[in-house]
Each structure stands twice: as C-alpha cells, then as structure tokens.
C-alpha cells in the first residue's frame, strides 16, 4: 500500500507541476486554456467555476496529462476569441509556453534537492573496502579502511567528498566525461594524507554497470570482517562458523574487511569445484581454524562460490546536510549534472554504447518510490528530484508529440520564416507517437524482466 501511494503521489505531483508550467505561462501570454487535465481518458472528476473558465479534470489513466487551448475545443473558436488562441501568438510566446512544462520540472528538481539538502540524509562514510585484486583502485594503491576525503580531475579543483554517495557520483561523472580522477586519501583517523590517481579516462565509452564498477574497485564501503549471520544448512554452518566470529585469514591470506571474504568466496568456483578453504577466525578472544567448502551457485549464467554467511556490520554513517545557501547551490549543480547525465545516457543508448536495459518504466518508479518513502522524507525528496529531472529532460528531446518536438518545429519556423505544413506535421506526429510507444513498451519490458530476475 505504501508503494502504491508513493507512486501515485510521485506521478501526480510531477504531472501537475509539468502541466501547470504550460498553463501558467499560457495564461500569462494571453492564451485561453479550455482544459487542464491530470491523466487521460474518461473524466473521473471535474471542476469549472464558470462556463468561460478553465475546466480542471482528473482522468482515469494517470500516466500523464495535458493542457488544451481553445484552438482544439469542439466546434472551433467562437467569434471574438481569435486573439486568445495559441496559434495567434508570436513565435517567442509559443516557444515559451511549450518550454515551460519541462523547465517547471527542472525548477522543481532544484527545490526538491534543496529541501533534501537542508533536511540532511544519513549516508555511508567514504571509508573504502579492500579493492578486488587487479582492479583500478588496487593498482592505484588503495587499501581497506582508507578514507576518501576529496576528489579532483586535474589536481587543482578539489571537491569535498562527504559520503560514499559523493564518491560514486564522482566516479560516474569521470567515466562519462572520459576524465581521470584523483582522490585525496587519509586513514580512518584523518591522518597520513596522500593522493592517488585513478586513470578512469581509459574507461570512457564503456557501459556504466556493476561489472565496470567492480573493475574500478570502489563500490563498497568498509565493513569489519565479522560474521553477521550464518545461513542454516549452508557451507559455513556445516564447518562450524558462528555469528560474531571475526575472520582473520582464509588460506593464510589476511582478511582486512568483509569485501575480501566475499571476493574470495565468489572466486572460489572460477576454476571448477571450490576447494576446501582454511578459515582462521577469532572467537571469544581465541583463534579457531575451520575447514569451509563453498557451495557452487549459478548467478546470471556465472558460477560462483557461496559460503552461506552474511559478512560485515552496518557501515559507518555520516549525516550529510548543507546550509541555506550551499544547499541551494548544490541543488542547482546536481540538477544540471543529472540533466547532462540523462542526456548523455540517452545518446549512448542511441549509438549502442549503453544498454537499453537502462530504460525504466512505471513499475521501477513505483518500487523505488516505496523504498525511498520508507527511508525517510529527505530520501523521498531526492528520489522525486531524480524523476523530475528525467521527466523534464525526456520532454525536451526533439521527438514529435513531445515538447521538444514542438520546439524543433518552432526552430524550423524561425529559420525558414514559415511553419511546418499540416501534412508534414501529421506525418511527424504519427512517427513520433510510434517511437514513444516503442519506448514505453521497452520500459515496461525492462520492468517486468527485473521483477522476474531476468536482468
């Protein structure tokens, strides 16, 4: 129920803001608005104060909305109202009215990010887990327990890293823009500062997914190698491993954190049946040796070893909160960066360097809406901001039937001095509608595939 209510609130708010942007600017430009609708199809609720005022309605299919000018009303424009039509307005005013919807979503994102920044969120501290062998981070000399304090692309403009979330964002930006990344590192106590260089520019053009992040080696926060839970009937339980045991070494390899345990277990089945491994654990102040033979499981067609334990405790958390001015400037910057990221990902999907699996639909939005609500108000506001940015950028794409398509028509009109002909407008609208339907079908397919564990 929480997920459904969060989903309805998310869609409702973003659609209202988008359509209100069109509506408010249209009225300011002297256009008479016939109807303001949230949703499509059969009208469930309507309100109209006078016969000549705008009709506000809620319709049955809540996956969008629209603002209808008197140009499109049944029976045509009544005598004396010609000057109130959308088509009678100047090119600049029509452009402003169409652009107002997406821009309202981007403005909303800034406000939502600002509110989330002022409230503050608990995020994992940027304490780094042991990077996998051969990863970019391991070759750079990063060790378990290092604290990433700041980042830079050129060694001059250093940006503070307040949390692991900031670090992941900086990594994503560096890969997308084909730039190296330098980190300023200290120990957990803040001492022993040093700088490390990550040549992430060499990864430019690659798919940003879990496999790439694993090859970089900075995906997990540091956690002590303490057994949190033992799965009944699993390999670890059969070997005598208990919750609370601290793993000191596996096959004489020192274990600095929980990530190393997980790495060794996963890789144990890389060359066939996993061998029996000697675990040395600390229990009640005493060192105990145990013989663990990992089981083999298939995950997405890949054989990995599994001991049947949950390793590690909750990572150290920090409250990330900004002041009044900084909260707003950070929000504006994040909205700009998210917009650029969204556009870049669309471009990469079009040319085939990013997977179409990145396209998400209403089921994924509903799932994340429910999860963010359970985490707290600031998390939900941040989630709303991300979806609002995506909606704004999506509507600015130059596809017929989207706002960006109409802006392209107006660009053509500005360059040639004449509007797009009705014949070509009809063709483009039909083609654009087909593309949008394909995109929605792909998004729904990806949603269902994720729910069924096929992706």
Spatial separation of the C-alpha atoms in residues 112 and 105, rounded to whole Å: 10
155-165: b (≥16 Cβ within 10 Å) or e: eeebeebbbbe
pTM for the complete prediction? 0.84
Q: Walk me through the domains of the chain, giving residue ranges and CATH numbers.
A: 1-30+89-120+323-455 (no CATH), 35-83 (no CATH), 136-216 (2.30.42.10), 227-314 (2.30.42.10)
Question: What is the structure's pLDDT at 411?
Answer: 92
pLDDT digits (tens, 9 = 90+) for 288-325: 999 998 888 877 667 888 888 888 878 889 999 999 99
What is the layout of strands, in order, in the sheet containing 147-152?
Answer: 159-160, 147-152, 181-186, 194-198
Q: Indicate which residues carry an active-site annotation.
A: 19
Bridge partners for 72 per DSSP: none
24-41: b (≥16 Cβ within 10 Å) or e: ebbeebebbbbbbbbbee
Q: Can you say how many angstroms the Cα of residue 296 is from the centroid of all Cα atoms in its chain?
A: 32
Strand, coil or helix: 275:
coil
Question: What is the structure's pLDDT at 109?
Answer: 96
Report the 10 Å Cβ neighbour count for 227.
24
Cβ proximity of 71 and 86 under 8 Å:
yes
Compute φ and ψ for 38, nearest 5 degrees.
-105, 110
Spatial separation of the C-alpha atoms in residues 69 and 34, rounded to whole Å: 5
Spatial separation of the C-alpha atoms in residues 23 and 17, rounded to whole Å: 10
302: closest CA among 264, 265, 269?
269
Cβ proximity of 293 and 262 under 8 Å:
no
Compute φ and ψ for 285, nearest 5 degrees.
85, 0
Strand, coil or helix: 20:
helix
Q: Can you say how many angstroms the Cα of residue 154 is from the centroid of all Cα atoms in its chain?
A: 26
Question: What is the structure's pLDDT at 361?
Answer: 66
Question: What is the structure's pLDDT at 74?
Answer: 60
pLDDT in tens, the chain (455 residues): 777 788 888 888 999 999 999 999 999 999 999 999 998 888 899 998 888 889 999 988 877 888 998 886 666 777 778 888 898 899 999 999 999 999 999 999 999 999 999 999 999 999 998 888 888 998 999 988 899 999 999 888 899 999 998 999 898 888 888 889 999 999 888 888 999 999 998 887 677 777 778 788 887 888 889 999 999 988 889 999 999 999 999 999 999 888 888 888 888 877 777 888 999 999 988 999 999 988 888 776 678 888 888 888 788 899 999 999 999 999 999 999 999 888 888 877 777 666 667 777 666 777 777 788 788 889 999 999 999 999 999 999 988 888 999 999 999 999 998 888 888 888 888 887 788 778 777 777 766 666 665 55
| Pair of tokens at residue 116 | 């989330």
Question: What is the structure's pLDDT at 333?
Answer: 94
């Amino acid at each position: 129920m929480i997920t459904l209510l969060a989903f309805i609130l998310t869609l409702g708010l973003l659609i209202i803001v988008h359509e209100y942007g069109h509506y408010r600017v249209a009225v300011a430009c002297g256009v008479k608005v016939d109807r303001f609708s949230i949703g499509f199809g059969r009208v469930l609720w309507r309100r109209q104060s006078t016969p000549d005022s705008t009709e506000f309605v809620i319709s049955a299919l809540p996956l969008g909305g629209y603002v209808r000018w008197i140009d499109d009303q049944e029976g045509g424009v009544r005598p004396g109202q010609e000057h109130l039509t959308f088509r009678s307005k100047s090119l600049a005013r029509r452009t402003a009215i169409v652009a107002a919807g997406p821009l309202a979503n981007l403005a909303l994102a800034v406000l939502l990010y600002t509110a989330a920044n002022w409230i503050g969120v608990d995020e994992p501290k940027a304490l780094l887990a042991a990077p996998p062998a051969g990863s970019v981070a391991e070759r750079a000399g990063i060790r378990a327990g290092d604290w990433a304090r700041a980042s830079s692309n050129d060694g001059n403009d250093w940006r503070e890293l307040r949390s692991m979330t900031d670090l992941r964002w900086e990594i994503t930006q560096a890969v997308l823009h084909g730039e190296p990344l330098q980190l300023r590192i200290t120990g957990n106590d803040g001492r022993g500062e040093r700088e490390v260089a990550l040549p992430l520019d060499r990864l430019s053009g690659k798919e940003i997914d879990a496999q790439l992040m694993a090859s970089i080696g900075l995906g997990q926060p540091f956690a002590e190698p303490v057994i949190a839970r033992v799965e009944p009937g699993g390999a670890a339980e059969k070997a005598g491993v208990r919750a609370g045991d601290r793993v000191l070494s596996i096959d004489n390899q020192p274990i600095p954190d929980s990530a190393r345990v997980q790495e060794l277990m996963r890789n144990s089945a890389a060359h066939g049946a996993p061998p029996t491994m000697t675990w040395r654990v600390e229990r009640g102040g005493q060192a105990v040796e145990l013989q663990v033979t990992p089981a083999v499981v298939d995950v997405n067609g890949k054989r990995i070893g599994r001991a049947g334990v949950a390793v590690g405790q909750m990572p150290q958390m920090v409250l990330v909160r900004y002041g009044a001015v900084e909260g707003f400037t950070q929000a504006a910057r994040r909205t700009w960066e998210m917009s650029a990221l969204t556009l870049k990902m669309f471009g990469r999907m079009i040319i085939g360097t990013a997977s179409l699996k990145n396209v998400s639909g209403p089921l994924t939005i509903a799932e994340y809406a429910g999860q963010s609500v359970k985490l707290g108000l600031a998390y939900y506001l941040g989630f709303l901001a991300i979806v609002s940015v995506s909606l704004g950028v999506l509507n600015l794409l130059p596809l017929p039937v989207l706002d960006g398509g109409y802006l392209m028509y107006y660009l053509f009109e500005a360059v040639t001095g004449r509007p797009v002909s009705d014949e070509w407008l009809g063709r483009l609208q039909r083609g654009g509608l087909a593309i949008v339907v394909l995109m929605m079908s792909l998004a729904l397919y990806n949603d269902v595939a994720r729910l069924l564990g096929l992706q």
